[in-house]
Amino acid sequence: TKCEIGDSLEEFLTKATPDKGLIRLMMCMGEALRTISFKVRTASCGGTACVNSFGDEQLAVDLLANNVLFEALKYSHIVKYGCSEEVPELQDMEGPAEGGFSVAFDPLDGSSIVDTNFTVGTIFGVWPGDKLTGVTGRDQVAAAMGIFGPRTTYVLALKDLPGTHEFLLLDEGKWQHVKDTTEIGEGKMFSPGNLRATSDNPDYAKLIDYYVREKYTLRYTGGMVPDVNQIIVKEKGIFTNVASPSAKAKLRLLFEVAPLGFLIEKAGGYSSDGNKSVLDKVINSLDDRTQVAYGSKNEIIRFEETLYGSSRLK
């Protein structure tokens, strides 16, 4: 039967896939996101580190998130390797490789903006078996992000299910299915990251000029999770984070760009590293970085044509 708006996470997943291990994994990660949301809200931030106000975990909030996620992966009993942007090497989660999964995550993206009380998030990608290198983002079986803003949401996509799906954390702690996105249309909204790169990337400067001349609405918080989520929720826009000789690519392919690329493309959007979908880039090392743009088809065509003279999408 069809997944309905209003379903609980478990009802949704049970209708969405026959893979009981994947259902259990996405449920365990939902619990982890609920816990992280609570810790982000209760951590008091003095100086750089945010420490939990209960005093029992004197860890910065992103390390708290890191530990909660590894616990969830172990508890799922279906994950072979877990890998965190905080500790970029494979950690054995003691689950099976055969029929199991490996999960790469950014425990708290934008932790440098927790102290300004901006929205931060968790990103994770799920690959089959025991490989997180020598694979591409298109090999993912699922990807998701947790978004810790005024409300807490869990945005996920599954390989075998069309669309990207948003769940809202209700007061009593249940996740409720609130929105599906299957199209990303046109609309003048842009999130231009890393403007430092325009100093020696004149084509990026040209692209930014275009957005200014066309009076695009600027929506950029410096947190990739909310900045990319807005394209899925508003079903329009373009997010860029471009590199240049003096401003090297910063965003991680495995932990950030591939999972978010999966969510954007399942939502009907497009992604690009300038030449191709970020989902077609082979992950050669856990620490690979890349420039990226996410958006509607026409925005990505403009991005590729402006930066590289032509677009594979035309």
* Measured distance between the N- and C-terminal CA atoms of the chain, rounded to whole angstroms: 37
Binding residue for ligand P6P (CB under 6 A) from 110, 125, 146, 259? 110
- 22 or 232: CB nearest ligand P6P: 232
Q: Which is nearer to ligand P6P, 102 or 194 (CB)?
A: 194
**C-alpha closest to that of 294 among 245, 225, 247, 246:** 225
Binding test (CB under 6 A) with ligand P6P, winner from 19, 85, 109, 304: 109
CA distance 57 to 83: 22
For ligand P6P, which is the closer residue by CB, 248 or 312?
A: 248
**Can you state the angle between helices 20-42 and 61-76, rounded to 10 degrees?**
160
What is the nearest approach in angstroms of ligand P6P to the Cβ of residue 212?
17
Asked if 226 touches ligand P6P (CB under 6 A), the answer is no
Minimum distance of ligand P6P from residue 274's CB (angstroms): 17
Q: What is the per-residue DSSP string for 123-175?
A: EEEEEETT-SSSEEGGG-SEEEEEEESSSEEEEEEETTS-SEEEEEE-TTS-E
Phi-psi region of 304 (alpha: psi -120 to 50; beta: other; left: phi over 0): alpha
Name the residue nearer to ligand P6P (CB basis): 23 or 65. Answer: 65
Interface residue with ligand P6P, options 35, 52, 91, 112 (CB under 6 A): 112
| Residue 31: its H or E element | helix 20-42
Alpha carbon distance 185, 296 (integer Å): 6
**CA nearest 312: which of 284, 249, 270?**
270
Regarding 149 and contact with ligand P6P (CB under 6 A), the answer is: no
| Beta strands at 217-218 and 189-193: parallel, antiparallel or unpaired | parallel
Question: Quick check: 288 binds ligand P6P (CB under 6 A)?
Answer: no
**Stretch of 45-53, 220-228, 257-265, 274-282 lying at the interface with ligand P6P (CB under 6 A):** 220-228
Counting contacts by CB under 6 A, is residue 198 touching ligand P6P?
Answer: no
Q: Which is nearer to ligand P6P, 140 or 241 (CB)?
A: 241
Which of the ranges 33-41, 107-115, 124-132, 273-281 carries the binding residues for ligand P6P, by CB under 6 A?
A: 107-115
Give just the sign of the alpha carbon dihedral 249, 215, 186, 307. negative
Q: What are the respective helix, strand and coil percentages of the chain, to the nearest 5? A: 35, 30, 35
166-174, 218-226, 261-269, 282-290 -> range binding ligand P6P (CB under 6 A)? 218-226
Q: Can residue 299 be called a binding residue for ligand P6P (CB under 6 A)?
A: no
**CA 257-87-58 angle, 5° bins:** 115
Nearer to ligand P6P, 79 or 114 (CB): 114
Task: Kindly state the smallest distance separating residue 241's Cβ from ligand P6P, in Å.
Answer: 6
Stretch of residues binding ligand P6P (CB under 6 A), selected from 30-38, 83-91, 105-113, 169-177:
105-113
Residue 23, CA atoms < 13 Å, CB-side half-sphere: 13
Of 146, 193, 268, 295, which one interacts with ligand P6P (CB under 6 A)? Answer: 193
Where along the sequence are the contacts to ligand P6P (CB under 6 A)?
A: 109-110, 112, 193-194, 222-224, 241, 250
